[in-house]
Chain A
Amino acid sequence: MPGLEAAAQDFAQAEEKLRRLTKALTTRASIAQTPKQVIWALNKAKLYRYVPMVPEQERRRLPLLLVFALMNRPYILDLRPGHSFVEFMLKQGYDVYLLDWGAPGREDRNLKFDDYTLDYMPRAIRKLKAVSGCEEFSVLGWCIGAILTTIYAALRPDDGLRNLILLTGPLDFSRKDSITFAKWTDERYFDVEQVLAAFGNMPAEMIEYGAKALKPVENYIGNFIRLWDNLDNPAIVDAWHAMHTWVTDNIPMAGAAFRQLIVDLYRNDRLMQGTLMIRGERVDVSRIRANLLTVIAEDDHITPPCQSETINQKVGSRDKELFRIPGGHIGIMAGSGASKRTWPHIDAWLGKRSG
């Protein structure tokens, strides 16, 4: 009977949708699948080398180091097969390394930018040089990773850094009215010492809340409605599932580093003012001589464009480019358009400068 057949078909489709919904909401997606090896580790940090995808003679000479933020997992750079920046760059012939900061425990609450930029990064880079056999290298820093790489590049300009890519880096904190996080963490409203006294580190849950509360309706409601509306489209559900896995997998930020982020940067803009002190050394960004590509997401609500625009005027690099792209903080690198716009531009820029 046609009526019954249609009803059975509807029932089967509804069952399939329910299965997809349950899976997307209650399980972790299979993420970060590109093969890699740990080649260095210190405390919670690990340096991975991805298994190259092209023969050695076709590879770019300069290795590429990826440095992500301290409070998120770096596998956003290798989200899922076919939608992975790492996989894309490997296919373009790059020797790709990833510095994963790991999740700090309470015992790491005294870790500062000083430790990350003058202990962890130089040591990881020393290993990268030993493994790649190349004294020069490129670094891509994203979000807080861009702050760390900028500090490193300014403090160690003779370390072999040839190309520096800063992705949506919050570097300039002078226009506080345009930076929502700067308002929230203003000393009149937010007591950073009280938070760190209570938790040691900045808890992952608070970081997640902060990121989501910038756009509360989109993140707490719209996001799930989008999933509901697209349950009959497995490709969209898979993409949603992978992104949801990443978004809900935050890690704490080491207490002392968080204090520096709030007090030195958000409140006092010390990096751009040239007054940031790292282990007794003044961070002078005009000492950066590496070729510089600054990538700005035009619709970024986490790092508004005004936070990344001025770095190109301050560095000492002769070869520098500011690349603006429509999209959000994460979307420009992990969204559906990333493989058509952002990744090819980074590859084209870096390819010319990677020997």
Chain B
Amino acid sequence: MSDAQQKSSPGGDSFDPLDAWRKMRDASLEAWAKGMTEAVKTDAYAKMTGAMLDACLSASAPFREALEKSMAHALQQLSMPTRADIESLADRLTNIEMRLDDLDAKLDVLGPKKVRKGHARS
């Protein structure tokens, strides 16, 4: 911003057309924002977005299912793991992690005792 522009900033003496435009812009945005915030709270908006989502998902569902089936079939033919295989593996890993976590917790309990025992011996 140049010196001339700074002098005409809010609080300055001279008139700044940009400042007046900004005020008008902010006022109209505020009014628009209030209107939209109220509009999205209505049942009509909820109904409209619900219908749009339903239409999108219903239209894409057959393609998605066909793609999933053909992909699973292709991966099986290539002896590659499918998404379902990876997901079941992830489940098993989480179960193993939980068992390790339980062991770790037991070690946490045993650890300090062992240290104290060691100190007592020395």
Q: Does B41 lie at the interface of the complex (its beta carbon under 8 Å from any beta carbon of A)?
A: yes
B interface residues, Cβ below 8 angstroms from A = 1-3, 22, 25, 29, 32-33, 36-37, 40-43, 45-47, 49-51, 53-54, 57-58, 60-61, 64, 83, 86-87, 90-91, 94, 97-98, 101, 104-105, 108-109
Q: Is the CB of A126 within 8 A of B105?
A: yes
Closest Cβ of chain A to B7, distance in Å, is 13
> Chain A: how many interface residues by the 8 Å CB criterion?
41
Which label, helix, strand, loop or mixed, suits the secondary structure of the A interface? helix
Closest Cβ of chain B to A39, distance in Å, is 11
Q: Is the CB of A198 within 8 A of B64?
A: yes
Instruction: Using known A-B contacts A42-B98, A119-B98, A189-B47, determine if residue A217 contacts B32 with beta carbons closer than 8 Å.
Output: yes
Among residues of B, the one whose C-beta sits closest to the C-beta of A178 is B41
Closest Cβ of chain B to A267, distance in Å, is 13
> Which residues of the partner chain A approach B87 to less than 8 Å between Cβ atoms?
106-107
Q: Is the CB of B53 within 8 A of A107?
A: no
Q: Is the CB of B90 within 8 A of A107?
A: yes
Among residues of A, the one whose C-beta sits closest to the C-beta of B61 is A198
Q: Is the CB of B1 within 8 A of A232?
A: yes
Distance between Cα atoms of A40 and B100 in the complex (Å): 11
Q: Ordered nearest first, which 6 A-B pairs have the shortest CB separation?
A: A189-B50, A217-B33, A107-B90, A130-B108, A107-B87, A189-B46
From the candidates B42, B49, B57, B83, name the one contacting A198 in the complex (CB within 8 A).
B57
From the candidates A106, A198, A221, name the one contacting B29 in the complex (CB within 8 A).
A221
> Which residues of the partner chain B approach A42 to less than 8 Å between Cβ atoms?
94, 97-98, 101
Distance between Cα atoms of A190 and B52 in the complex (Å): 10
What would 13 more interface pairs be, CB under 8 Å, given A180-B41, A198-B60, A217-B32?
A10-B2, A43-B94, A106-B83, A106-B87, A107-B86, A107-B90, A108-B90, A189-B51, A213-B49, A215-B33, A217-B33, A218-B33, A221-B29
